[in-house]
Amino acid sequence: MNANPDTVTSRADAGMAPSGVRSALYALLREAFGYPRGELLDAIRDGVVAQSLRLRAEALDPPLGEPVDWQALQDAGEAPDTLAVEYTRLFDPGTSAPPCPLFGGLHVAPQMTTMEEVLRFYQHFGLAPANTGGETPDHLTAELEFLHVLAWGETDLQSRGEDASAWQRGRRDFIARHPGRWVPMLREKLERQAPPRYYRALVRLLEQCLDADLGQLEALHGPASREPHRSMPS
């Protein structure tokens, strides 16, 4: 995603508004779903990923952290390549269909239609996919980055005393139609694959965060349609 909210994560612990902490949380979740190698793998093993996610989740809503297996989010397996092997088995399309794809359109078909609507959301808010790593717009990491940017935009507008309701409604509708709709499907498929503890806990945490965010946004702006392929928020 072409955006530059560089200071969100570093400011999340310095008395930021809830939307700023939420933005940082979505950014961290996006990183946690990356390919587990190098700095990310080290951060998982050292407990940095688990601690960072826990701080933000509990800062937003203490009950968010209660059902999470935080120890599992530090478990990279016994072998150095355990998570990488499992990431490929579970998520990587490669040359065949993975059992738990990270592409929304492979859960809520047709994929082309889903990608087109996701792109319309991005474009509505003046954003465009970065197209790194060969990911399509409906990939989970792209969708999480979009939510990160929307929450950051809300924070920025509120800090200047401006109305952020359009950004809030956009996040509400996007969650309801896209990751909030297909991440539960991903979790169900993942549970049948005997996944590593890390991925089981991470997907459950993501689902809880999406549910909590959507619930708060619907309390502010009314219920969102769960059906995809609707008009953009006004």
pLDDT digits (tens, 9 = 90+) for 131-184: 556 679 999 999 999 999 999 999 999 999 999 999 999 999 999 999 999 999
Residues 105, 218, 21, 211, CA torsion sign: negative
Which domains are delineated in the chain? Answer: 8-221 (1.10.3480.10)
Q: What is the pTM of this model?
A: 0.90
- With contact defined as beta carbons under 8 Å apart, do 27 and 16 qualify? no
What does the alpha-carbon distance between residue 13 and residue 31 come to, in Å, rounded to a whole number?
Answer: 18
Cis peptide before 67 (omega within 30 of 0): no
Query: pLDDT digit string (tens) for 17-66?
Result: 899 999 999 999 999 999 999 999 999 999 999 999 999 999 998 888 88
Cβ-proximal residues to 223 (8 Å cutoff; 6+ apart), any chain: none
